[in-house]
Structure 1
Amino acid sequence: MPLPLAIHEQDRLLSLNVNEEPAIDLGHLIPGMKLWPLFLDPDNGTWVLYAHYAPGTQLPKHFHTGAVHFFTLKGTWGYKEYPQDMQTAGSYLYEPPGTVHTFHIPDDGEPVEGFMVVSGVNVVFDDGGNYLSTDHAGSMEQIFLDAAQQQGIDMPRYIRPSGPAAFTA
């Protein structure tokens, strides 16, 4: 049986190593946060990141329109809304669409590192529940590009599976 006509030829694997790519320090937005973009797909609303958070880091309360998968490699963290469910090294967390929470790391804790796959949009709120912003694969890509430029570093390599929509040849 012949191979299908709609296959993608590639000459090498699409593989990244966070030990070989620079982190993007986003401390100007969230103190203590460094991220490595691994896969950013604005067309399908998927973003894959490797994260490093310092002790005391807290993200604003946010609502997920899509699912999130987070695997913790180092440290302990939790959501303020679920203090009984702290995540530790080796924990895998699935967040179904529609969840709302406030990520935080104890001030006296150790740094946290983990790997996340996010689908859809994060809608961000202030402490009073007022809308602040939205984050998605496209906005995250722009945040990374701007931060790398401001920090005078090369943008780390990441996988971007598609480009602008266009007609076939």
Structure 2
Amino acid sequence: MAIPAQVHDHKDLLTLNTNELPIYKDALPGVPGIDVQPLFLDPNVGIWVLRVIFHPGVMLPKHYHTGPVHFFTLSGKWNYVEYPDQPQTAGSYLYEPGGSVHQFSVPASNTEMTDTMMVVYGANVNFDQDGNYLGIMDASDIMLMFDNLVRERGLEPAKYITPRAADYTTRG
């Protein structure tokens, strides 16, 4: 059997070093204490990969996942409000199936930041404490959020990996 022909013509690996990229402080509008580093955003397939650093005391809105999530805790501690006896600490890996509903919380008593890495398929549909719809967060929303953030703060554009947009094979 012959080696398959390479489909993508790129000369370099698609790689990022998180130690060399900026971390955007207070990146989520209206929710202080969440620093984000975008790594991969694909609005066509709906996958987003983020490094997120949570400050002590951060609580996110209750949310519903339309797809699965792989969530790695690199340092610190957090838990879902619904599972207070199952804290996630440094070295934890959590798999969340699509259809999960929960509320993310970082204890205010944490003595360090909670550094995480997440691979999310689909969207988070967010709700307030009374169950009222707040909005949706997906790869497209995150791309727009970073475009606005860098423009408002006068920063260089965020560098992350994203696949090319769909297009025709030929024009005409």
Same fold, TM-score > 0.5, yes or no: yes
CA distance in 2, matches of 1:11, 1:70: 31
CA contact (8 A) 2:146 2:158 kept: no
1:83 is the counterpart of 2:88? no
How far 1:149 sits from its partner (Å)?
1.4
CA distance in 1, matches of 2:84, 2:98: 20
Cα shift readout 1:13-43 (whole Å, capped 9, x = no counterpart)? 1111121111122154311001111000000
CA distance in 1, matches of 2:89, 2:125: 25
CA distance in 1, matches of 2:80, 2:71: 13
CA contact (8 A) 1:40 1:160 kept: yes
CA contact (8 A) 1:43 1:162 kept: no
Q: How high is the TM-score relative to the length of structure 1?
A: 0.94
Letter in 2 for 1:11: K
CA contact (8 A) 1:66 1:121 kept: yes
The CA RMSD over aligned residues, in Å, is 1.3
How far 1:6 sits from its partner (Å)?
6.1
Letter in 1 for 2:120: V
CA distance in 2, matches of 1:106, 1:3: 52
Letter in 2 for 1:17: N
How far 1:122 sits from its partner (Å)?
0.7
Gaps of 5+ in 2: none
Aligned residues: 168
CA contact (8 A) 2:77 2:88 kept: yes
Cα shift readout 1:128-165 (whole Å, capped 9, x = no counterpart)? 110010111111110111112112211221001121x2
Equivalent residue runs for 1:46-65 within 5 Å? 46-65=47-66
Partner of 1:19: 19
Partner of 1:125: 127
CA distance in 1, matches of 2:146, 2:54: 16
**SS of residue paired to 2:44:** coil
Partner of 2:163: 161
Partner of 2:146: 144
Gaps of 5+ in 1: none
Letter in 1 for 2:100: T
CA contact (8 A) 1:68 1:117 kept: yes
Q: How high is the TM-score relative to the length of structure 2?
A: 0.93
CA distance in 1, matches of 2:157, 2:104: 26
Runs of 4+ in 1 over 6 A off after TM superposition: none
Letter in 1 for 2:23: A
Name whichever of 81-90 and 147-156 sits farther off: 147-156
